[in-house]
């Protein structure tokens, strides 16, 4: 008869640290795949590259495609991860929680469709989307620095700080530029989709970079395991 393994404190710590590692990596993977998967799945159902990622919510109906499910499901998955992930400070945690709710709001409130010149310049979908990237840019630019002091190498601290600043700029300017072109100037085209995708991929890059930073500072290593 097999004896059950005794669970030790070290086992529990490895489990907790591992959970946060895979949560960060999971957010990066989902965000990286999100725009690609929308395009690939839409193409499989005869949907050409949409003017924006949000347009797939409605394009799916006309093409009888389940791509709307992937759009909504992907945003809900990212939102849940952001809400569940505990920040290193209260400020970061509040920002991540709000970002998670805003991601769900982007999915819950669809963009206006087939309204031509009657489309309003402000909508709950647009407000949630812009606010989401503003909050994420705040986390990347400000709160990402909270753990840099644990890096023993000052050069490494500087490199990560510069990387986070660059990521936050892309994360903020790319989707806002897309929103301005699409909503205010009524400009449509593939470049809007790729501007939105750039913001999403910047979000993914942040979580991959944060995981690497925590690894270099041993903050993701259980006590006694370093």
Q: Enter the pTM of the model.
A: 0.85
- Report how far residue 163's alpha carbon sits from residue 32's, in angstroms, rounded to the nearest whole number: 18
192 and 199 in contact (C-beta within 8 Å)?
no
- Report how far residue 216's alpha carbon sits from residue 211's, in angstroms, rounded to the nearest whole number: 9
Provide mean pLDDT across the span 7-27: 84
Query: CA-based Rg of the chain, rounded to a whole angstrom?
Result: 20
Span 44-96, pLDDT tens digits? 888 888 888 888 888 877 767 889 999 999 999 999 999 999 888 999 999 99
Provide mean pLDDT across the span 198-202: 92
Q: What is the DSSP letter of 66?
A: T
pLDDT at 184: 56
Span 120-170, pLDDT tens digits? 767 888 889 889 989 999 999 999 989 999 998 899 999 999 999 999 999
């Amino acid at each position: 008869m097999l004896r059950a393994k005794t669970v030790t404190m070290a086992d529990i710590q490895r489990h907790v640290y591992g959970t946060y590692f895979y949560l960060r990596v999971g957010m990066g993977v989902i965000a990286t795949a999100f725009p690609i998967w929308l395009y690939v799945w839409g193409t499989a159902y005869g949907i050409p590259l949409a003017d924006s990622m949000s347009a797939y919510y409605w394009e799916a109906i006309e093409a009888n495609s389940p791509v709307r499910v992937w759009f909504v499901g992907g945003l809900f998955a990212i939102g849940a991860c952001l809400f569940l992930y505990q920040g290193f400070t209260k400020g970061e945690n509040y920002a991540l929680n709000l970002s998670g709710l805003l991601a769900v709001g982007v999915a819950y409130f669809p963009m206006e469709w087939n309204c031509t010149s009657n489309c309003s310049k402000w909508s709950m979908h647009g407000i949630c989307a812009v606010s989401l990237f503003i909050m994420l840019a705040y986390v990347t630019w400000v709160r990402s620095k909270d753990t840099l002091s644990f890096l023993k190498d000052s050069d490494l601290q500087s490199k990560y700080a510069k990387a986070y600043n660059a990521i936050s700029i892309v994360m903020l300017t790319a989707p806002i530029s897309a929103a301005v072109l699409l909503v205010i100037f009524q400009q449509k085209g593939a470049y809007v989709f790729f501007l939105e995708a750039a913001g999403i991929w910047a979000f993914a890059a942040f979580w991959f970079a944060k995981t690497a930073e925590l690894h270099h500072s041993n903050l993701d290593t259980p006590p006694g395991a370093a």
